[in-house]
């Protein structure tokens, strides 16, 4: 192989390695680093859960990704700007979850029970609400059955959780 051909081959190999590492970084924890979320509590069917509040686009995108466990009485509340049909996925999520969808009046619209972790990146399937929703609560898998969750159940908010959607700041 001539010297120019070897240099070209070496350059292409390095370019390929850089491209691969760039694609990997997009799905790494560092790519989803965000400012810390505030916390509060929610109450559903008489049970109180400590929750992190995902209010901005970046916080909602990160969600519960890359966590290996979550305490039984903890979760995350996602606040959207408007009431509409929503779909959540489990990209880079390592723990099974119950995904509760609530409307603007904080009434339960639907639940995706025992939603499995997914490590398929953008190929992870979406789990859709059965109607328009504004708030999404993620708890450990099995909580919906434990609470006997039903459509129309009302979610109560603790201090610091906006009761009406606010515009998000990415």
Assigned domain for 111 exists: yes
Better-scored residue on pLDDT, 59 or 118: 118
Same-domain pairing of 25 and 71: no
Cross-strand pairs, 127:
88
Cross-strand pairs, 111:
100
Same-domain pairing of 63 and 14: no
Q: Which residues contact 14 (CB under 8 A, 6 or more apart)?
A: none
Q: What is the pLDDT of residue 35?
A: 58
Q: What is the pLDDT of residue 165?
A: 54
Question: Tens digit of pLDDT for each residue in 6-65?
Answer: 444 443 334 333 333 333 334 444 444 455 678 999 999 999 999 999 888 888 888 778
- pLDDT category at 150 given cuts 50, 70, 90 is very high
Assigned domain for 162 exists: no
Q: What is the pLDDT of residue 56?
A: 83
Cα separation of 146 and 144, whole Å? 6
> Two tokens at 131?
């109607």
For residue 60, give the nearest of 141, 168, 148, 146 by alpha carbon.
168
Show the beta-strand stretches assigned E in 103-162: 108-115, 126-140, 155-157
Q: What is the pLDDT of residue 127?
A: 96
For residue 117, pLDDT over 60 is answered with yes
Same-domain pairing of 138 and 56: yes
Same-domain pairing of 2 and 74: no
Same-domain pairing of 151 and 101: yes
Same-domain pairing of 14 and 53: no
Same-domain pairing of 45 and 25: no
Assigned domain for 163 exists: no
Highest mean pLDDT: which range of 3-7, 63-67, 136-140: 136-140
Same-domain pairing of 83 and 146: yes
Burial of 13 (0-12, 13-18, 19+ CB in 10 A): exposed
Same-domain pairing of 80 and 52: yes
Cα separation of 112 and 110, whole Å? 7
CB 88 within 8 A of CB 62: no
Same-domain pairing of 11 and 54: no
Task: Give the Cα-Cα-Cα angle 143, 166, 108 (nearest 5 degrees).
Answer: 30
Look at the block and give the residue holding tokens 């779909």. Answer: 87
CATH number of domain containing 130: 2.60.120.1140
Same-domain pairing of 39 and 77: yes
CB 63 within 8 A of CB 99: no
Same-domain pairing of 38 and 62: yes
- pLDDT category at 106 given cuts 50, 70, 90 is very high
Assigned domain for 166 exists: no
Read off the pTM.
0.76
Instruction: Return phi, psi of residue 5, to 5°.
Output: -70, -40
Task: Give the Cα-Cα-Cα angle 90, 77, 60 (nearest 5 degrees).
Answer: 55
CB 143 within 8 A of CB 60: no
Total tally of structural domains belonging to the chain: 2
Q: What percent of the chain has pLDDT over 70?
A: 75
Assigned domain for 84 exists: yes
């Amino acid at each position: 192989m001539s010297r120019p051909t070897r240099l070209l081959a070496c350059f292409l190999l390095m370019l390929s390695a850089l491209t691969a590492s760039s694609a990997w970084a997009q799905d790494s924890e560092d790519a989803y680093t965000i400012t810390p979320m505030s916390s509060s509590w929610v109450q559903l069917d008489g049970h109180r859960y400590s929750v992190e509040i995902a209010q901005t686009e970046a916080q909602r995108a990160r969600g519960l990704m890359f966590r290996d466990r979550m305490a039984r009485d903890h979760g995350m509340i996602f606040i959207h700007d408007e009431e509409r049909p929503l779909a959540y996925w489990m990209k880079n999520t390592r723990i099974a979850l119950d995904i509760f969808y609530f409307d603007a009046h904080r009434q339960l619209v639907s639940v995706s029970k025992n939603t499995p972790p997914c490590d398929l990146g953008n190929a992870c399937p979406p789990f859709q609400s059965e109607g328009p929703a504004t708030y999404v609560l993620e708890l450990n898998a099995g909580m919906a059955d434990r609470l006997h969750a039903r459509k129309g159940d009302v979610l109560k908010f603790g201090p610091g959780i906006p009761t009406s959607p606010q515009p998000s700041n990415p």
